[in-house]
Structure 1
């Protein structure tokens, strides 16, 4: 089975059912298939090549994804506001023949012309296309589940774009396990929040189609006006949210749930970074009977590999555990001696199983550095992904601690900077953002805190009651807003640069 088999099975069951909705358009499943096949016919001369798609928040972007799949190629979603420098780096990495644009973009068009890249315009090139059924049927018959499905770019700690390739089989396996765990159905209505170049969005796109459900794209402006966001969710009777943690935090911090409630929600999934208990508590307090699910996986895993389901919170949890693994995926947390961690011990997360990505596009060296032989044995090839994420075991649960990149050696101790941040969030309800940095020149820990009032509270005194002395920051810097990246995640590099500009390094 490949993803087109799943897609066409849904089309045969629900040809006239609305599949995709945006602010101005809606398409049935049969209309999506028709448009997708036209796109495939336009780009049919290629095979298993990356097709770059400049996305906006309209259904045309998703239909272009399916058109690319029908053509036997794999799609690479890029945001319409992508900086030209980053686009050039991705083009250098992929060497594409074709790019699909949703609308005119003079800068990108000029660049494509100079690089001899074919441009397909969604609104200009498809009207008079006659579908080549012979070509498309051949693609469906020869397509394998190991073939690439899509590729997303992640900057990584170095800032250099890396293309992570997801296979068709990994998405199918994830869907089967996710569906088995959470019992979603064809009557569900998904409310998409994540931009399409963000891996979170792939869950909306493929889960909704495999189920025969409806996917509604939430306009960006709704995330500037919380009341309008809740009204939108109610207007379209949204039942499923698979959102980035930053969006969950935005709603919580707005306090909108005390004023107006989503009326149709059944399940809320979130991932991307650690969400604080106090932020989730607002959702749980105001919305009865809804299942909330904390999801974990790096970009190098299709979908997610671990989940923790919550319907109510109690005093057992000061932060959210990673929870259980999905079926057909295995998570190992190993110490420096490559042994499973014990209680209160830290270790690195390794992942194995059918959800793993294929590796990095045109970067074999990086692929074999991170996708390695299982360190527990050498008996046969058993590839695992070495995540660089650190976790710990407490009271029978596993908890995310931070990135190995953010681990320092200070005063003879190994310290996770993100553990300091977690203690700040636990001890201070009003602090929404903070970032622990290490000043190597001065050999001190610096805590940068986002202001929440004119009064700067004495954070050090409180932290001294919960952290050992060697983990206490030596300097505290209050700023108006902690930098965030395009995903709404804490931007550590930008925060460090701010600190440098502040004259401290």
Structure 2
């Protein structure tokens, strides 16, 4: 197998009339999706050469997913740009891509003022009228390789310019050959998509659906602001499976959503993106005791996830969930500051990953690619590329990997090296605190703690002294009705830092 379209084609051959994907307004069968994708691919093949990027300028919806598959039929790779992004960022992404073609929804989603683009703008509704050119599509497929790029997701860059993480067919196939069967995902499942389509968590939604012949339900973003509507939607659509960001799960528990309604058909809850507060997980376990819970870890650069930890017991509030062990065909290990292996329990090292799942690098950015994707220093005999995640971890008592924060969340304060996550873990353990996040203002040399909860800052500070040294106690506490999150559902630490500096 060398092309992800084989997943779609196989499921279409078995379940042509079955709903493949639906959003709030419409649905699409496997047969319809396949036909529209082939029409889009036939059209694009007259304008684009295989290997080129094609932009989909849409919010997540049925048409966006269909456009992705059409782009793949043309031998190109897809890049979703959310119309809600500011024009400056859109221009940065387009400059990196040097793309010639953008697919839009015509009058409903057009390029906003300030976006600079002189290439082809194609209306989705028009190009799906194209006649299918089977011979041309077959030729493109015959010449394709599994290392051809499939998609590019843009993440923030340290230089201020977004980095495009380029992922191949082979990396997705490698991950998907294990992932669904490991967690009991079948064609009977209804997968509730939370992640934006420009975030790699959605890759699990999309390709688990296509591989297993399941149905994917795209949950509108606005529902994640109103838990009652979100829970109504999950129940009405009979959703069984969630691959969600931690913040999305915490939204329901933080606002006591389960006292309104329990989505009783949900039987698999797989979460990632940041550390899951134990108290929130415990609430999910209480209301959905028979569901399977899995803590997933992995940066965009290694195609979804590289480690997993099945949660098979109740954790105490002071405990931390392990990130577990490596997925099949991935090597995950720790290196110290001298690039020596870290193997003993409790000692922190940088988490590094090797294997087919590694991305192709950062598109049109060889310098940053060379810094992050490097030769394994432990292998001096042959070429072995690893990705240095910048994440810190250690081996716990049972030999499982445990997340210990980011290198860039490691601060130096009052002469001490401090992990902000360690401070957050203490605050999050308090029963009256729902969620907390800490930032470090270097100019003022102070730690600021933002939190949602029913404690006064002075009360939190006094209690923290029971378990942390004085130099780790935040000097300022800011209660908020809710913590801001990024488009990908993670806590927006950059915004919190700006708020901290402004106080």
- Place the TM-score, normalised by the shorter chain, in its bin: over 0.9
2:341 to 339, 342, 360: 339
Q: Is the 8 A contact 1:258 1:286 kept in 2?
A: no
Q: Equivalent residue for 2:434?
A: 432
Structure 2 partner of 1:200: 201
Encode CA deviations 1:221-254: one digit per residue, 9 max, x unaligned.
Answer: 3223322322222222211111111110111112
**1:339: Cα distance to partner?**
1.9
**Distance apart, 1:279 and its partner CA:** 0.9
1:432 positional shift:
3.0
CA distance in 2, matches of 1:7, 1:291: 26
Q: What are the residue-to-residue correspondences of 1:99-248 with 2, within 5 Å?
A: 99-104=102-107, 108=111, 115-127=117-129, 129-248=130-249
Structure 2 match to 1:403: 406
For 1:67, which of 58, 70, 94 is the aligned residue? 70
1:458 aligns to what SS in structure 2?
helix
Over 3 Å counting, the alpha-carbon distance change for 1:394 and 1:412 in structure 2 is: farther
Task: Give the structure 1 partner of residue 95 of structure 2.
Answer: 92
Counterpart CA distance in 1 for 2:483 and 2:23 is 32
Compute the displacement of 1:441 (Å). 4.0
The 3 A distance-change label for structure 1 pair 59 and 107 is closer
Preserved CA contact (<8 Å) 2:453 2:479: no
State whether structure 2 residue 259 is matched by structure 1 residue 258: yes
- The equivalent of 1:81 in structure 2 is 84
Distance in 1, matches of 2:442 and 2:257, equals: 42
What is the deviation of 1:283? 0.6
Q: Deviations over 1:143-198 (max 9, x none)?
A: 11100010100014454200001100000110112123113111111111111111
Q: How many residues align?
A: 498
Where does the alignment leave 5 or more consecutive residues of structure 1 unmatched?
none
Which sits farther off after the overlay, 131-140 or 456-465?
A: 456-465
3-state DSSP of counterpart to 1:391: strand
Please give the alpha-carbon distance, in whole angstroms, between the structure 2 residues aligned to 1:429 and 1:103.
Answer: 50
| Cα displacement (A) at 1:498 | 1.5
Residues 457 and 476 in structure 2, CA contact (< 8 A), matched pair in contact too: no
Aligned to 1:8: 9
- Name the CA distance, whole Å, in 1 between partners of 2:458 and 2:43: 62
CA RMSD of aligned residues (A): 2.0
Structure 1 residue 501: deviation in Å? 1.6
Out of 155-164 and 203-212, give the one that drifted further.
Answer: 155-164
Aligned to 1:51: 54
CA apart distance, 1:453: 4.2
- What's the offset of the Cα at 1:456? 4.0
Structure 2: how far apart are the matches of 1:495 and 1:367?
Answer: 29
Question: What SS does the corresponding residue of 1:204 show, helix, strand or coil?
Answer: helix
> Aligned pair in 2 of structure 1 residues 284, 156: CA closer, same or farther (>3 Å)?
farther
Secondary structure of the 2:127 match is coil
Deviation at 1:77, TM superposition (A): 1.0
Give the alignment partner of residue 426 of structure 2, picking from 423, 428, 434. Answer: 423
Partners of 1:454 and 1:331 in 2: CA distance: 40
| Pairs within 5 Å for 1:454-473 | 455-473=456-474
Once the two structures are overlaid, the 10-residue window that deviates more, 146-155 or 484-493, is 484-493
TM-score calculated relative to the size of structure 1: 0.94
Could you tell me whether the CA contact under 8 Å between 1:284 and 1:312 is conserved in 2?
A: no
State the SS of the aligned residue for 1:362: coil
Q: Secondary structure at the match of 2:402?
A: strand
Compute the displacement of 1:480 (Å): 5.3
Q: Distance in 1 between matches of 2:401 and 2:426?
A: 17
1:328 aligns with 2:329: yes
